Every structure is written in structure tokens, then in C-alpha cells.
Amino acid sequence: MSKEWRGEQKQPQKIDAVTDVEEQEEETLDLEEKLGEDEESWLSHWPLLTALLILAVMLTLEYGFKYQPPFPLNLIIFLIAFGLSGYNVLAMAWRKAKHFDFFNEFFLMSVATIGAFSIGSYSEGVAVMVFYSIGEWFQDAAVNRAKKSIKALLDIRPDSVTVMRNGQRAEVDPKTVQLDEIIQVKAGEKVALDGELYSDAASFNTAALTGESKPDTKRKGEKVLAGMINLDKVSEVQVKALFKDSKLSQILEMVQDATARKSQTQLFISRFAKIYTPIVFVLALLVCFSPYFFVDTYDFHQWFYRALVFLVISCPCALVVSIPLGYFGGIGLASRNGILFKGSNFLDVMTKINTVIMDKTGTLTKGVFKVQEVGTEGLSNDELVRMAAAIEANSTHPIAKAVVEYAGDKQKDLKAENVEEIAGHGLKGTVQGKTVLAGNAKLLTKFSINYPGEVDSLVDTVVLLAVDNRYAGYITIADEIKEDAKEAIERMHSLKLQTVMLSGDKQAVVDKVAKSLGIDKAYGDLLPDGKVEKVQGFKDAGSRIAFVGDGVNDAPVVALADAGIAMGGLGSDATIETADIVIQNDQPSKITTAIQVGKITSRVVWQNITIAMLVKVIVLVLGAGGVANLWEAVIADVGVALLAILNAVRIQRMKL
């Protein structure tokens, strides 16, 4: 590239398991040396622009007025232009040569241009360097443009926050705010930390986190996340997560890591370039010297010129820059639509998915449960609800929260003791000296407690209760299907994807939801290990699987799937941490959007590879045959690079 790294020190990046550490460090160094972070004005490129002006004047004199300054004046003028346009390239080539790295684009361009000067082709040597540097300038601009959508996330982190301390307002650094402190957010101001709304109600713009501009109204006690913008009056938020633990900080870390995790295509191109460049050097030497043994009228000057043409057109910069730029654009396009890819490799994975397996609660349904009916045996309704709420208060499961919310103040004087969670079954504890079980039918079966058979015919989710090893009644709870769930399934079917739903809920409920949405296969009554077994079964059958979930018990299957997708709004931290892709607004329709982004990115990347390789092979053959000259070689090289870059930049403009 035509400029050296002048940006801020980058934070360390995580290295993907498939990437060799030494290779990653070298690629990061090259990226820093080549690209730079800061956008620059035209004036900052005055040396290159001056060189271009000198070249234009000299070519006008030579071809327009048939005048060429006498030697050595013309050599001095062209050397000045050469130095102005190529000092960065020459310096980079020298730095790499000191480390015995000769097979790179900087050294390749340096050899080609200096070689052109050595045979008297001054104008062509300068032209190669000027147009190469202009091409790199455009590449820099394209990369900076691609970074905008991701760097915009950094701009939504407030530098200060108003915190209430000792009855006084104080402006402090968000990093210094502690848990449970109250922060004040003015109208139009960004929330700095995750917490719960302390005011009665407020409306927030969540677009920075979810990609959705629709205002979200929060009530007292509901979750508010850093990055949301307060649209209403001055509001207060009680902090529930430190600055480093906020959802926004997690998002930024995910995006940063994503740029370090290479796709298989990127890794292939990186390795290909390392093999390709030395081969090109050898072929250029053969083009120059091998004709000596076969051509009677061998002219070193002629064949050396052809070898220089060969070197110029062989420069792999179109591939090395445009392909990572394409993936970077894909990650940016996804982030603008509320989807976070944790690495460009997952963009490739999404193009191969043929089966989407989804959890039910919180993924296809809202996970907001309401008590529908209470049935008792031996207890009053109030007694049953109070006992159930006392023990369910020890769980964060949405069903447990629904029971506690329904009980309201009725259970405040009751406390459960010795509560233990039995995974996939429910809870066991002691309330007022009595042993209470609250969970599904499997829980009561596990403890050999009989219950009425008609309970199994209830369609809604059922919480069964037993007191001192005797069935005491049930509470039915219903969940609501998300508005775009049916559309999401229809879009999956339009893409010829098989749809599967797994749930720990009973089969009757699962079947009801599956039928209303048109899901191909649905399995209920599954414990966490049962979900793992089902997903493994689909993998063993040859399916390429994306699993979508939100709960803690979904983390193992998210990790097992080819692409693990987490619902990031309501999802548990464990699932979000394990997932490869995070949907920030919890919309099932974003699943197919993620697949679309992957396919768009893959299509553009392979278009670039095909165009670049085809043009290079054609001009390489023409150059070796003496048909193409240095002018045509540099125009072809810069042209194909710009074409590939513009094609990659298209991703940023696409609407899904």
C-alpha cells in the first residue's frame, strides 16, 4: 500500500483455532502496514498527486509536442516523480527484504519499476508506481468506508454518565459506576450502562443494538441496555452490570473478534498468495532467460521487458485486499441489520445450511408467559398459588416468573428453603416445613407421585405441584408466538430449508405451535441431553445445521451445531457467549437474513476471485508473448483491483 500505519494502537485480537499464530501475526502486521485506520484528505496525498502531475506533463511533452528533455534532465525529473509516488512502497519493500521476505507485492513492484528505469523506460516505470499507488489509495478509501458501519458502534458509548450519589448529581466515567447505583439519562441521551428502569416508564430507541428504529417503551423494573437512546423525559436507571459486562461491550468485543477470525476462503487466498508470488518470480526469470537457449535472435532487453510486464500484472493485491474487504462488508451489512457474526468464517458456514433447528420458548415464542388456569386438589387456589410462587421465586425461568407475577403480594410472607433445581424437571424445596415439588409431569413421575390422567391432555404448558409427596394441583401457562415467526418459517421454506423445533415443553404444546407455524418436524418433552441427541442425529444424517436458541440449556446444542445462533435480547449470557451468530432483536425472521448476508458475501467474493484470476492469466500470457506492454499491464492490474474493490463495496449498499 502507498501509506504506512498511522492509526492508534489496535487492541489484541483473538486468533481463530484454524489460523496459525505466526501467520495471523504476519497478516495483522501487513494489514496495519497496508491499510491504516484514519480517513485522509486529498492534500495528505500531495506527493502522489505531484508525481501524477509530473507524469502527465512529461507525457504531454513527449507525445503531444514530440519533445523530450535531454538526458540526464529527463532522468532526474522522472526520478523525482518516482520517489514522490513510490517512497512508501520502496521503504516497505526494504523493511521486508531485511527480514528476508522478498515475495510480496511491495518487493515485486519495486523490482518491476526499478527494472524499467534500468532499461530506459522511465515514463513506464513511473506510471507503474503512480497507478499502483493510486489503486492502493482507492483501496484504503474502500476499506475505511467498509469500517464505518462497525466503527459506528464505538461512537455510541458515552464518555460520561450522570450518577446520583449522596442526593447529588455527578458526572463520572461510566467505568467507575458500581452495581445498583442510580444513573440519570436525559432525553436524547444514550444509556451508558445496563440496568433496570427506575422511573415509572420511558421510551427508548434501540436501533444501535437491534437494527430496529421502532421505539421500545419500558416500564419500571424492565431491562434497559447500554446504547439505547432515551426518547422521553429525564429517566433514571438502576445499574445491574458493570461497564465491561454490558451487552454493548460484549457486542463490541464480538465485532472486534470477528475481524480477526478468517474464513476458509480468506485463509486459502492468504496461503495461495504466499505460494503464488515466489512462483511468479521464478516464471519471470524463466521468461527473461530461458529464450536464450531456444531463440536464435535472443535480445536481453526485449525479454527483460517482457519479464517486467509479467511481474507487474502478477501482483496479487486485487485478491489480497478485495476478498477480506468483501467479508468485512458482510459483517458490516449484518451488524446494520441487528445480526452479529463472530467471524467471517461463519458467513461461509451460513451458505451451506440446509436445516434450521429452533428452540421454542424465547425463540419462536415471546417467552412472556401468563397464568391461564389454576386447578387444585386438597388446597385452595390461593394456597396453591402461594406455595408455587414461593418455590418458583428461586428460578429465573420465564414460566417461574409468570407464576410469581400472578401471585403478586400473596406469597411475600412465604419463603422457600433448601431449593434445588432438577434439570429438565423443575424445583424441589421446603415451604412452611412441607416438601414442595413444582415442575412438569416428569418431576412427579421421578418421585413416584400419581396425578390425574386428564392433566396430560391439557394443551397449554402445565406446572404440576405436589406437597409432601401428594399431588396438590396444577397451574396452566400460555406463551405467545412472535409476530414474525410464521413469516420466518415461510422464508426458510422458500430457501428450501428443513425446519425443526425442539422443546422441553410437552409434545401437545409443541405440536400446536408447530402446526400453526408450518414447521416440518417438532419434538417435545426433551431434556437438555435430549436436544443434543436430536441435533447429533441430524448431523449424523448429513444435515448442515443452524441451531437457534436463547436459554442456558441451549448452550450445548448451540455449540454442537455447524452454526449456533443466539437470540441476544432475551438470551442467556451462556448461550450468547457460545453462539457463532447473535440476533440482537430476537426476531426469528433475522435467521434467513443471516443466511442472505452469507450468500451475498460469498457470491461477491467468488466474483472477485474469478475476475481477478481470469484477467491476470490473460495479460500474463500476452505479456510473456510480447503482446502487452508495461502500460497495459499496470492498467490491467489497477483496473481489476478497482473493479474487485467496487464490487466488494456494493455489499455495504445492499438492502435486505
Q: Which residues does the annotation mark as catalytic?
A: 359
Helices and strands counted in the chain (H then E): 21, 22
Query: 122-151 vs 105-118: helix axis angle to the nearest 10?
Result: 160
Grid coordinates given for 283: 516464471
Cell 409443541 belongs to 510
Reduce the DSSP state of residue 339 to 3 states and report it.
strand
What cell was used for 455? 392433566
Instruction: Compute the residue count for the chain.
Output: 656
Q: What is the DSSP string of 461-504?
A: EEEEEEETTEEEEEEEEE--B-TTHHHHHHHHHHTT-EEEEE-S
Cα–Cα nearest to 211, from 587, 550, 553: 587
Burial of 119 (0-12, 13-18, 19+ CB in 10 A): middle
SS3 23: helix
| CA-closest candidate to residue 535, choices 510, 513, 557, 511 | 557
Nearest to 310 by CA among 109, 10, 550: 109
> Which residues have a Cβ under 8 Å from the Cβ of 435 and sit 6 or more positions away?
428, 429, 467, 468, 469
629 vs 624: CA distance, rounded Å: 10
**Sequence-ordered list of residues with C-beta below 8 angstroms from that of 626, at least 6 positions apart, any chain:** 302, 306
CB within 8 A of 433, min separation 6: which ones? Answer: none
Cα(347)–Cα(594) distance, integer angstroms: 8
Report the distance separating Cα 555 and Cα 155, nearest Å: 31
State the DSSP H helix or E strand holding residue 308, giving kind and residue range, or none if neither: helix 300-313
Specify the DSSP class assigned to residue 546: E
Q: DSSP letter for 588, please.
A: T
Count of C-beta atoms within a 10 Å radius of residue 427: 23
Distances in whole angstroms, Cα of residue 547 to Cα of each of 123, 246, 557, 591: 59, 25, 7, 10
**Residue 426: strand pairing partners:** 422, 439
